[in-house]
Amino acid sequence: MGFETVEFKLSHAGLTRGILQKLGLDSEEQNLVFDSLLDGDAGALIRIKEERPELVPLLALQGKSSGFIKNLASSLALDLSELKPQMDDFAYIANALRSLGYEYQIDVASVRGFEYYTGMIFQLFINGEKVGGGGRYDALIPAMSGKNIPASGFGLYLDLLMDLIETKTPAKATLPKIVVKMDADVRKPGFAIAGLLREAGYIVKLYLGGRGPVDTPWELEVLKHAPRFLLTNTTRKMSYNLQTPQEVLEKLKS
């Protein structure tokens, strides 16, 4: 959307909930603590400090790397060995973001919607104002009488965003659609080439498993070794080995 500075906050409901259980809070107490804090109750933190002083170190924990997550146990003076899956999940996502070159702020207590999130939570801020967020909520669909199924999602506050961006008349899309395939080892060049293609006017879809999109005349596979890119015309069944993003653009134009 063209915003120069977006603040990205991360937390993990499963990890935070596990720590709160270690500190002796039941589910109802956990929800009350975070609902009060995140709904803007100015006196909530004061009451927590007075009534549950053991929570103060947790609420103050913030960091900017996956190493911070690994050091949580010593920071809180707790045995968190039972929470290793949640910590590993949190650290994996933090490392993935770092490998893509994204900065973020880890805030263990920043967990709006705490009662239904189960894993990673993220929030987006521009000029200190929240403009979106989401995360993992595997328990939400079963709680609404649905099947036991994993789920994740996010929302953007469109009214706020519309006030912040300069509107432009979109150009009519005439360029073909492209599906980009990559694995975890080539995320950074994969997202980079996807962004470059979008800037050039192409509609880009990311292959996330399964059957994949069926209406894309071009497929671009990002490789770990030379040649770096394999571009395939799915209509003509022709493939091209290419080394640079510029070569990909030139081949598409030709």
The CATH number linked to 131 is 3.30.930.10
Distance between terminal CA atoms of the chain?
A: 29
Strands 129-136 and 177-181, by their bridges, are unpaired
CA atoms within 13 A on the CB side of 82: 10
Pair (159, 209) in one structural domain: no
pLDDT of residue 24: 74
pLDDT of residue 40: 45
Asked whether residue 135 is domain-assigned, the answer is yes
Asked whether residue 45 is domain-assigned, the answer is yes
Do residues 127 and 22 touch, judged by C-beta distance below 8 A? no
How many structural domains does the chain have?
2
Strand partners, 229: 222, 242
66 φ, ψ to 5°?
Answer: -65, -25
Asked whether residue 1 is domain-assigned, the answer is no
Asked whether residue 169 is domain-assigned, the answer is no
Q: Over the chain (254 residues), what is each successive 10-residue block's mean pLDDT?
A: 85 82 74 60 60 64 74 73 87 89 81 73 89 89 86 93 78 78 90 94 86 79 93 92 94 90
Do residues 247 and 229 touch, judged by C-beta distance below 8 A? yes
Asked whether residue 242 is domain-assigned, the answer is yes
Asked whether residue 144 is domain-assigned, the answer is yes
**For the chain, what is the largest distance between any 2 Cα atoms, rounded to a whole number of angstroms?**
71
Strands 177-181 and 203-206, by their bridges, are parallel
Give the residue from 164, 188, 212 where a domain finishes.
164
The Cα–Cα gap between 149 and 132 comes to 24
Pair (16, 120) in one structural domain: yes
Question: What's the domain range around 182?
Answer: 177-253
Pair (224, 125) in one structural domain: no
Pair (82, 148) in one structural domain: yes
Q: How large is the angle between the packed helices 13-22 and 84-99, nearest 10 degrees?
A: 150
Asked whether residue 172 is domain-assigned, the answer is no
Asked whether residue 240 is domain-assigned, the answer is yes
Pair (34, 77) in one structural domain: yes
Pair (136, 31) in one structural domain: yes
Pair (135, 225) in one structural domain: no
The Cα–Cα gap between 165 and 127 comes to 13
The Cα–Cα gap between 62 and 72 comes to 10
The Cα–Cα gap between 243 and 235 comes to 22
Pair (17, 87) in one structural domain: yes
Pair (63, 20) in one structural domain: yes
Cα radius of gyration rounded to whole Å, the chain: 22
Pair (119, 236) in one structural domain: no
Pair (53, 143) in one structural domain: yes
Pair (228, 129) in one structural domain: no
Give the residue from 119, 135, 164 where a domain finishes.
164
Q: Which residues of 151-173 are buried (b: 16+ CB within 10 A; e: fewer)?
A: eeeeeeeeeeeeeeeeeeeeeee
Question: pTM of this prediction?
Answer: 0.67
Give the residue from 137, 164, 191 where a domain finishes.
164
We report the CATH number of the domain holding residue 222 as: 3.40.50.800
Closest-CA residue to 112 (of 92, 137, 89, 93): 137
pLDDT of residue 156: 95
Using omega within 30 degrees of 0 as the cis cutoff, is the peptide bond preceding 85 cis?
no
